[in-house]
Amino acid sequence: MLTEFYADLHIHIGRDQANRPVKITGSKNLTLTNILIEASRHKGLDLIGIVDCHVPTVQTDLARSIFKPVGEVSMVK
């Protein structure tokens, strides 16, 4: 039997963690941290795809999110 996952595989980031624009048409509130919180806590998504993951500052934000201390938002469940 296949496992069901709820996913959104096309999410744009509006700004990186340093508040620099990534996707100009994206909301300035669409930071990686806000996306992770909204996706996991409010929408119940199991998997997300960040379209802007090729941007160097977004890659830095992703790496930092993976290694945050316990209790903070992390990409790893």
Q: Tell me which long-range contacts 3-10 makes (C-beta under 8 A, separation of at least 24).
A: 5/46, 5/47, 6/43, 6/44, 6/45, 6/46, 6/47, 7/45, 7/46, 7/47, 7/48, 7/49, 8/39, 8/43, 8/45, 8/47, 8/48, 8/49, 9/47, 9/48, 9/49, 10/49, 10/51
77 residues of the chain, pLDDT tens digit each? 899 999 999 999 999 988 999 987 778 888 988 998 899 889 999 999 999 989 999 999 888 888 766 555 555 44
User: Residue ranges of the domains in the chain?
Assistant: 7-66
